Structure 1
Amino acid sequence: MLERLKTLSLIILTVLSQLCLAQQKPQYTQYVFNNYLLNPALSGIENYTDVKAGYRSQWTGLEGAPVTGYLTINAPIGKNFVRGDATAFPAGGGINPSSRLYTQQYQAAEPHHGIGLTIVTDKTGPISQTTIDATYAYHLGLTSRLNLAVGVAGGFSHNVLNLSQVTLVNSLDPIFSNLDNNQWKPDLGFGVWAYAPDYFIGLSVQQLLPQNLFITTRNNTYQNKTVPHYFLTGGFKVFLNDDITFLPSVLLKMIKPVPTTFDINMKLSFRDKLWVGGSYRRDDSFATLAGINISSFVNVGYSYDFTTSQLRTVSSGTHEIVIGILLNNRYKVTCPQHTF
């Protein structure tokens, strides 16, 4: 029993003192379904109010493994775009946005603003974090076919260490006596997003403001801080025929001092009705993905990660599901026009 208590204390101490040495923000396999989660520049990119709710259970079967839930909403502002987007379809959906014809007729979106809100909750063992950010973006057509959006996210995070889940061998441990286990911290992010009918590229950063977490002692051995998370992503379309489109994409994650990692995604879109795909995350997992556009009001995406790291011996994989709602969808489109 004593050895078990020592082990639990060591785990908690390691988590607290080494937070700055690992990815501190949640990761998503279904980010291809909602890039707005990683980049505020996508605020208002579509011609409707985009609402998404997601749930991710990572490393199922492992006690204390990360569980993430989120709700995002963003919408465009600007009459010329909302009521007269050059790429908006007539009522009923019109041209499939993954088709060759769509790319040939595409015109850059009218200049407009976008606003939004993200709420993300993430729990790992006794540590939970809720981040609430308001977002703003401005979209501008650089050429007749290329758009550029610049966005910012600002808000706060609520960080909690549940001490009732922490068992100590020594209750007088000076590290734990200096814990601030319930904190509110400011949050700031920034992003840019360039998009055309057949490709996109984006760069964003989260946690721009480094913050001390939980441990308040001045002993540098145990100080821990949040660090900026940089994301670089890009993708393009390959037309296999008039009904099937291949959409490869990549996401690079740069978080010092850990090594740069990446996701490689491959997606097959069957008109504007459904899609399937696969993903590889460096030194972590392979994943299968699928989604269906049920109507002009709702769509659903699901993914399952097959763990390839050492955690595969104690984990049965990772589940993630996302439900999308298209509000104020005046043109009755069934899938995104400006993102893929």
Structure 2
Amino acid sequence: MKRLLLVLFLLISIAAVLQAQQKPQYTQYVFNNFLLNPALSGIENYTDVKLGYRSQWTGLQGAPTTSYLTVSAPLGDDFLNGDASEMPAAGTADPASRSYLQNYEAAPNHHGIGFMVVSDKAGPVTATNIDATYAYHIGLTSELNLSLGVAAGVARTSLNTSLLTTTTPDDPAVDGANGGIWSPDLSVGVWAYASNYYLGASVQQVLPEKLYFDAKDAADQSKTVPQYFFTAGYKIYMSDDLTLMPSVMVKVINPVPITYDVNAKISFRDIFWIGGSYRHGDSYGVLAGFNVNSLINVGYSYDITTSALNTVSNGTHEIVLSILLNNRYKVTCPQREF
């Protein structure tokens, strides 16, 4: 039974890549929405570097693993030299306190740039995306910002044919698969944010690309499809030390059924946070994060599989390391990204 499930899983993984080219899924995106939306480029008053690793369905041979590097930085003297949510140097204002809400001011108009590399492997299929990002942040009111962003780069999909057994030697259907397929990659997004809420929308894989490894085969169903993400979150001040942040993400990928995530996290000042998540028809998750100091933050999550794979899966682990460079205000947690 376990081998049968593995074979079915590998076939489904290959079909997903060759027909829909779905992006990796994350639980820790609540710690790094920049992965889903380029409009978050430069949202913070420091250079935000994040390293992430996700091992999905551990215990199942050939299960997906995802690793990534993201870098986001602001540009603009008005923002860099005159703002960290309008707080004094050394981070004396706690972003989880009511006083922060009262003193919050929208960020000055500024630019943001970024870079990301994401590698996702599922069975014999490896998908890699390399993108540069840009965003412009506008102060709509004294307390509300709107940012527009774009990510552009390249995507590569390859198939490790040594893991496959075909009835025909040198099968043209996978000929040249080890060298991979290169294609352009484009994403766009919009993000509105204030002191206690955010709203976002983005679309990835804007440009449809053929995915057949055999260049002579040109079936229409082998193209990538756009993937739409809609996100929202709201910060509830439970006390001067505790805040509750419920959030939701809806993902739309035609012809796959619409999926959604529901999350909630509780933060204690700017020291640590814990939370939970539910992904419809897939998993429950527990999350935790610790802000070590003004240089390093760490986040971890564990997902419990609720689909049919729970009979062979030991769950999903994901860890994110965040490094806050050029952090002149010595803040120990995000001020605007929640």
Deviations 1:201-251 (A, max 9, x none): 000011101111134366676851211110000000111111100000000
Which stretch of structure 1 is more off in the superposition, 22-31 or 276-285? 22-31
Task: State the shift of 1:141 in Å.
Answer: 0.5
Deviations 1:60-114 (A, max 9, x none): 0111111000000010000000000162432221111121111111111000000
Percent same amino acid among aligned pairs? 59
Task: State the shift of 1:146 in Å.
Answer: 0.6
> What residue is the counterpart of 2:209 in the other structure?
211
> What residue is the counterpart of 2:246 in the other structure?
248
> What residue is the counterpart of 1:330 in the other structure?
328
> What residue is the counterpart of 2:228 in the other structure?
230
> What residue is the counterpart of 1:339 in the other structure?
337
1:8/1:166 contact within 8 Å kept: no
- The alignment status of 1:175 with 2:173, answered yes or no, reads yes
Task: Report the residue type matching 1:324 in the other structure.
Answer: S
Task: State the shift of 1:183 in Å.
Answer: 1.4
Which stretch of structure 1 is more off in the superposition, 84-93 or 174-183? 174-183
> What residue is the counterpart of 1:321 in the other structure?
319
> What residue is the counterpart of 1:259 in the other structure?
257
SS of equivalent to 1:259? strand
1:4-153 pair list within 5 angstroms: 15-19=13-17, 24-85=22-83, 87-153=85-151
> What residue is the counterpart of 1:292 in the other structure?
290
Task: Report the residue type matching 2:101 in the other structure.
Answer: T
- Structure 2: any 5+ residue segments left out of the alignment? none
Task: Report the residue type matching 2:292 in the other structure.
Answer: I
Task: State the shift of 1:16 in Å.
Answer: 4.2
**Aligned residue-pair number:** 337
Matches of 1:263 and 1:58, distance apart in 2: 17
Task: Report the residue type matching 1:169 in the other structure.
Answer: T
Task: State the shift of 1:17 in Å.
Answer: 4.6
Task: State the shift of 1:53 in Å.
Answer: 0.3
2:158/2:177 contact within 8 Å kept: no
Matches of 1:300 and 1:10, distance apart in 2: 35
SS of equivalent to 2:181? strand
Task: Compute the TM-score of the two structures, normalised by the length of structure 2.
Answer: 0.93
Which stretch of structure 1 is more off in the superposition, 254-263 or 93-102? 93-102
SS of equivalent to 2:113? strand
Matches of 1:10 and 1:168, distance apart in 2: 16
> What residue is the counterpart of 1:189 in the other structure?
187
1:86/1:110 contact within 8 Å kept: no
RMSD (Å) for aligned C-alpha atoms: 2.4
> What residue is the counterpart of 2:152 in the other structure?
154
- Structure 1: any 5+ residue segments left out of the alignment? none
CA change 1:50–1:15 in 2 (3 A) is closer
Matches of 1:259 and 1:78, distance apart in 2: 42
Which stretch of structure 1 is more off in the superposition, 30-39 or 17-26? 17-26
CA change 1:216–1:12 in 2 (3 A) is farther
CA change 1:17–1:240 in 2 (3 A) is closer
SS of equivalent to 1:36? helix
CA change 1:6–1:287 in 2 (3 A) is closer
Task: State the shift of 1:169 in Å.
Answer: 3.0
CA change 1:93–1:196 in 2 (3 A) is same
SS of equivalent to 2:93? coil
